[in-house]
Amino acid sequence: MTQEQWTAVDHYITDLLVPPDPALDAALQSSAAAGLPPHNVSPNQGKLLLLLAQIHGARTILEIGTLGGYSTIWLARSLPADGRLITLESDPKHAEVARANIGHAGLGDIVELRLGRALSTLPQLVAENRRPFDLIFIDADKPSNPDYFAWALKLSRRGSLIIADNVVRNGAVIDTTSSDPSVQGVRRFNELLAESSRVSATAIQTVGSKGYDGFAIALVTAED
């Protein structure tokens, strides 16, 4: 199987099941035009996030890693009118592009973007007692994933859902000796999923337009 096939099948799925959407399409276009890296979830992955949030009945969502707001828009669209999504981004340029995209999507009242390194803004959310979040999407710098998992647990309740992107990394995740800090971050994160008595988790490998990767999903099964 080749990347070309994975991309062609992703286009087939997306053409069938993910209709063009002006705000989402504009978010991708403006992100590319501003020179942001193409690290957004793919359209069919974005729709999976929407469906998971809807199945879960999420009313409060936390996202770590906004980029241009593409996954933010998908997730925020799952929310009821009084729902809230907080998204954390450290890059001022990414945040500026995302704010415009989120506003253009009509989600400015539902989404709050906090600029700053997530390891600084996450403790603020705890201090402000913004917990619990029904769904937490971890998709920022991978070396920090173990820390993000600890904060996600602090900001969870029994029944919260934690989803993490990019936990397979082209298969590098099984390279125990990898010197790549992202691989080590993801490996430690996956181990924490296994070690934590508060979650029940699995991970799924994916292929598609973004290559070979995967996501992890964890249900918080116990309070602190």
Residue ranges binding ligand SAH (CB under 6 A) = 39-41, 65-67, 70-71, 88-91, 94, 117-118, 139-141, 144
Does 165 bind Mg ion (CB under 5 A)? Our answer is yes
Closest residue to ligand DHB, Cβ-based?
A: 39
- 3-state class (DSSP) for residue 7: helix
Q: How far apart are the first and last CA of the chain?
A: 44
45, two tokens: 């992955």
Cβ closest to ligand DHB, residue 10 vs residue 165: 165
Q: How many CB atoms are located within 10 Å of the residue 224 CB?
A: 9
**Closer CB to ligand SAH, 10 or 139, in the complex:** 139
Pairing of strands 161-165, 211-220: antiparallel
Query: CB under 5 to 8 A by kind: which of ligand SAH, ligand DHB, Mg ion, none does 52 bind?
Result: none
Q: Which residue's CB is nearer to ligand SAH, number 60 or number 71?
A: 71
Residue 50, binding choice from Mg ion, ligand SAH, ligand DHB, none, Cβ under 5 to 8 Å by partner class:
none
Residue that is written with structure tokens 């009084």 in the block = 82
Q: Is the peptide bond before 181 cis (omega within 30 degrees of 0)?
A: no
The contacts of residue 156 (CB under 8 Å, 6+ apart) are 131, 132, 133, 136, 162, 198, 220
CB of 196 to ligand SAH, least distance (A): 22
Among 144, 166, 184, 190, binds Mg ion (CB under 5 A): 166
Interacting residues with Mg ion (CB under 5 A): 139, 165-166
